[in-house]
Amino acid sequence: MRAEDEREMMSQTLQVEYIQTAGEIGALLLESHLIKSLNPIFNVRLRRLRKLCTLQIEAKGNGLMPVIVSGKDLGLGQVDGLYGLFSSAHSAQSKLRELSDQHRLCLGLLGLEKMSQRGCFGLQVKTCLGACVGLEQRDIHDQRLMAALADLKVHAWPFSGAIDLIEQCDSWTQRHRIQDWRYLSTSCSKTGSLQVSVQQSFDLDTYKILVKPIMLGTARIELLENH
């Protein structure tokens, strides 16, 4: 938030309320949920992105090519083989160009430019190792492509059903119910209350909050296979 926006927000503040959570994950989930529900004018970063796209690897000719596809049709967070979550096709293309520069990948084989018999433009300026004209084996190029995409992997939900992610603070506990990376609800032993989310589809911010603690096994979870 810009300093001038922060000053304006503070000048309009009449009352401050807070909700105590049992841990950081609960605080982040609650913040994201409230922002999407209330649409505060000073916080646009966590507002819901209605459309997301991703990269899917397809076999093209004798090799692999990343194809930009709509996340709406793919079951984001439920299927493997997807890389990156982007707000637009343009941002996905920008990321591919960045990876091309970092790993000397061929823009033509990434589907970002047309190739002639002389190969891609990157070959002419020596940023491509020549897979487009046979100077580099295509499978070697594709191995480097997949290595470059590894950090962008969109993890499929690793459980067969819902889980409770449990956080404890002193003698009280909160249980966050999650399924397919969707935040469903939070129950609190201290207040006896149940916070219910209306999240019906994959949400980028919720995924970012949950993916590391769940995939790295640092979160305390309870499987709810029959939920």
Find which of 122-126, 153-157, 200-204 is predicted with most confidence, using mean pLDDT.
153-157
Q: Identify the domain containing residue 114 by its residue range.
A: 53-152
| pTM score, whole prediction | 0.83
Confidence label for 103 from pLDDT (cuts 50, 70 and 90): very high
Same domain, 57 and 143: yes
Residue 36: enclosing H or E segment and its boundaries? helix 24-38
pLDDT in tens, 1-22: 677 777 877 787 788 888 899 9
Q: Is the pLDDT of residue 198 over 90?
A: no
The C-alpha atoms of residue 220 and residue 54 are separated, in whole angstroms, by 29
- Residue 113 and residue 63 share a domain: yes
Average pLDDT over residues 75-85: 90
At 148-182, the pLDDT tens digits run 999 999 999 999 999 999 999 999 999 999 999 99
- Shared-domain flag, residues 42 and 8: yes
As a whole number of angstroms, the distance between CA 126 and CA 23 comes to 50
Q: Using CA atoms of 131, 133, 137, 139 in order, give the dihedral in degrees to the nearest 10.
A: 60
Residues 176 and 216 in one domain: yes
120, 152, 184 - which closes a domain: 152
pLDDT at 47: 52
**Domain end among 122, 152, 182:** 152
**Residue written as token pair 């960045």:** 98
Residues 134 and 111 reside in one and the same domain: yes
SS3 content of the chain, % helix, strand, coil (to 5): 35, 25, 40
In the predicted model, what is the mean pLDDT of residues 85-95?
A: 94
Number of domains in the chain: 2
pLDDT at 117: 80
Q: Assess whether 173 and 206 both reside in one domain.
A: yes
Q: Residue 184: what pLDDT? A: 94
Q: Are residues 98 and 128 in the same domain?
A: yes
Q: Do 79 and 99 lie in a common domain?
A: yes
The pLDDT score that the predictor gives to residue 151 is 95
Average pLDDT for 52-74:
90
- Burial label, 100 (beta-carbon count in 10 A; 0-12, 13-18, 19+): buried
Report the SS3 class of residue 179.
strand
Q: Is 218 left (phi over 0), alpha (psi -120 to 50) or beta?
A: alpha
Same-domain pairing of 42 and 63? no
